[in-house]
Amino acid sequence: MANKKHMSTNFIYFFGALGGLLFGYDTGVISGAMLFIGKELGIKAGSFEDGFITASVLLGAILGAAIIGPMSDKFGRKKLLLTASIIFFIGALGSGIGINYEVLVTSRVLLGVAVGAASALIPTYLAELAPAEKRGGVGTLFQLMIMTGIFLAYVSNEWLSPHGLFGLGENVGWHWMLGLAAIPAAILFFGGLTLPESPRFLVKKGKIDEAHHVLTQFNSDEKLVDEELHDIKLQASIPSGGFKELFGVMARPVLIMAMGLAIFQQVMGCNTVLYYAPKIFISAGFSEHFALQSHIIIGIFNVLVTVVAVKIMDKIDRKKMLTYGAIGMGVSLLLMSTAMLVLKAGNGNLGSWVCVIALTLYIAFFSATWGPVMWVMIGEAFPLNIRGLGNSFGAVVNWTANFAVSQSFPMLLVAFTPHHAVNAEGQGIAKLFIIYGVLCFVAIWFIAKFTIETRNRTLESLEADLRSKAHAKGHSEAGEPAV
């Protein structure tokens, strides 16, 4: 075993994280495609069907995230990543063909299942492969892929629309926009075939030699590999847990942490800001052309900031990143609201520019902190015997919060928009952003009170801490590793 050829770790990390690209592309592409889908399939704007084409991916994602956890503890991370890539492929082709509403929505639900599964699976897989001192940066590759996927979706929306580079007809372009996702899905499948299984999972299945071989790919120091393997064996000797353990006393601190991070990441407004960025620019007095172009520029900016996040992730404590991020996001949102409501942003005045700067800052803070850190932390926090299940749970909570925020936004916007005012919608958005801004400050309190620092700790030492704390409180659910 030990003399098997070693594969480049960067190659492994790249393909391990690639599912994030599909996550980003499939969630980002629909806003552009929707402009044309309705016309061809005869769907009325504002109807249930109209909303459901967008929401179907989110609902599928909740389902996908929910079923993947128990399965990944049973079948392994790699097999399920491959299965997810096949579902991605079928979903992308189906929605690209999209001959009628039913086919489109069914395919979008399927895509959602794959997106949700990837979101629960990939952070676990990457956290289990990377050595402790690199785990944050490697986990952030997932967010980098999401952002790259969103960027590619903006580009394809622009190029494949009737006025775009390829000048495709209204009834042609959107099929390509949705269908093109089949290409990265196929790449993920073939690349995924060469990936190693997670060493933690291999040990759990008694495949110690294979686990040893995988670990040596990531660490050339035999002694450290042996120590790591010893620790993993110790944790793996604890029987696999179920919901009882997930909701038990020992896992409670990480369960609360995962739920809180997953909810706050969404209620601080990331998706509405990203989604409504062009509208905000228009409300601030910029032209439609500027607004749409700026969407692409924001996409590039997102990717660049996330590259910076990959570099700094293992140098700064995760809790600090979350705190600074929440302060930055909260201040930017309040600044944006002030620019709209007090400085009366419009026609390129001071308020308009403050608005553009605040929105850019918000996105930078999100992309560098809450975007990646949330996924990294839920990927590493849970004990091995419930890791798949725990991640699944965190991802389900995140997708449900995402669904709740995106579904409530249009309704809240109507409620907050004054009837007779200049730039009424801009005022509505500004008021809503105050709510998200305040929630950013509530998040700071949550981080201080309920999160556990995970940077530079091995997954095994984090787990040992949880067990000894529960043990100290005298709870049997702590479970002792049988040495």
Closest CB to ligand BGC: residue number: 371
Say if residues 110 and 57 touch (Cβ distance below 8 Å).
no
In the bound state with ligand BGC, the residue whose beta carbon lies nearer, of 66 and 384, is: 66
Rounded least distance, CB 274 to ligand BGC, Å: 5
Site string for ligand BGC, 22-41 (x = CB under 6 A): -----x--------------
Classify the phi-psi angles of 168: left when phi > 0, otherwise alpha if psi is within -120 to 50, otherwise beta. beta
Q: How far apart are CA 213 and CA 194, in angstroms?
A: 14
In the bound state with ligand BGC, the residue whose beta carbon lies nearer, of 43 and 303, is: 303
Rounded least distance, CB 367 to ligand BGC, Å: 7
Torsion 164-169-171-176 (CA) sign: negative
Q: Two tokens at 293? A: 């172009």
Instruction: Give yes or no for residue 371 binding ligand BGC (CB under 6 A).
Output: yes
Stretch that binds ligand BGC, among 84-92, 265-273, 377-385, 456-464 (CB under 6 A): 265-273
In the bound state with ligand BGC, the residue whose beta carbon lies nearer, of 91 and 149, is: 149
Residue found by looking up tokens 């294979």 in the block:
210
Name residues contacting ligand BGC, limited to 313-342 (CB under 6 A): none
Rounded least distance, CB 50 to ligand BGC, Å: 20
Residue found by looking up tokens 């480049």 in the block:
8
Per CB under 6 A, the list member of 85, 124, 402, 451 interacting with ligand BGC is: 402
Instruction: Give yes or no for residue 265 binding ligand BGC (CB under 6 A).
Output: yes
Stretch that binds ligand BGC, among 143-151, 163-171, 204-212, 277-285 (CB under 6 A): 143-151
Per CB under 6 A, the list member of 146, 238, 322, 386 interacting with ligand BGC is: 146
The phi and psi torsions of 75 (rounded to 5 degrees) equal -100, -10
- Which residues does 164 contact at the CB level (< 8 Å), separation at least 6? 158, 173
Q: How far apart are CA 188 and CA 78, in angstroms?
A: 11
Rounded least distance, CB 402 to ligand BGC, Å: 5
Which string of DSSP letters, residue by residue, matches 350-392?
Answer: HHHHHHHHHHHHHHHHHHHTHHHHHHHHHHHHS-GGGHHHHHH
How far is residue 418 from each of residues 83, 254, 335, 345, measured CA to CA in Å? 49, 43, 20, 16
Rounded least distance, CB 459 to ligand BGC, Å: 21
Classify the phi-psi angles of 423: left when phi > 0, otherwise alpha if psi is within -120 to 50, otherwise beta. left
Among 25, 32, 102, smallest CA distance to 295 is for 32
Instruction: Give yes or no for residue 270 binding ligand BGC (CB under 6 A).
Output: yes
Site string for ligand BGC, 148-177 (x = CB under 6 A): --x---------------------------
Neighbour-count burial of 85, counting CB atoms closer than 10 A to its CB (0-12 exposed, 13-18 middle, 19+ buried): buried
Q: How far apart are CA 199 and CA 210, in angstroms?
A: 8
- Which residues does 400 contact at the CB level (< 8 Å), separation at least 6? 62
Stretch that binds ligand BGC, among 49-57, 269-277, 293-301, 464-472 (CB under 6 A): 269-277
Rounded least distance, CB 150 to ligand BGC, Å: 6
Stretch that binds ligand BGC, among 104-112, 165-173, 242-250, 263-271 (CB under 6 A): 263-271
Say if residues 60 and 104 touch (Cβ distance below 8 Å).
no
Stretch that binds ligand BGC, among 237-245, 266-274, 403-411, 449-457 (CB under 6 A): 266-274
The phi and psi torsions of 388 (rounded to 5 degrees) equal -60, -45
Stretch that binds ligand BGC, among 84-92, 264-272, 437-445, 463-471 (CB under 6 A): 264-272
Per CB under 6 A, the list member of 107, 124, 140, 143 interacting with ligand BGC is: 143
In the bound state with ligand BGC, the residue whose beta carbon lies nearer, of 395 and 466, is: 395
Instruction: Give yes or no for residue 271 binding ligand BGC (CB under 6 A).
Output: yes
In the bound state with ligand BGC, the residue whose beta carbon lies nearer, of 241 and 299, is: 299
Rounded least distance, CB 23 to ligand BGC, Å: 8
Rounded least distance, CB 164 to ligand BGC, Å: 23
Which string of DSSP letters, residue by residue, matches 230-298?
Answer: HHHHHHHTSPPP-HHHHTSTTTHHHHHHHHHHHHHHHHTTHHHHHHHHHHHHHHTT--HHHHHHHHHHH
Rounded least distance, CB 71 to ligand BGC, Å: 21
Rounded least distance, CB 265 to ligand BGC, Å: 6
In the bound state with ligand BGC, the residue whose beta carbon lies nearer, of 398 and 427, is: 398
Rounded least distance, CB 20 to ligand BGC, Å: 9
Rounded least distance, CB 398 to ligand BGC, Å: 6
In the bound state with ligand BGC, the residue whose beta carbon lies nearer, of 74 and 279, is: 279
How far is residue 481 from each of residues 209, 241, 345, 381, measured CA to CA in Å? 21, 13, 61, 18
Q: How far apart are CA 45 and CA 60, in angstroms?
A: 22
Contact positions vs ligand BGC (CB under 6 A):
27, 143, 146, 150, 265, 270-271, 274, 371, 375, 398, 402
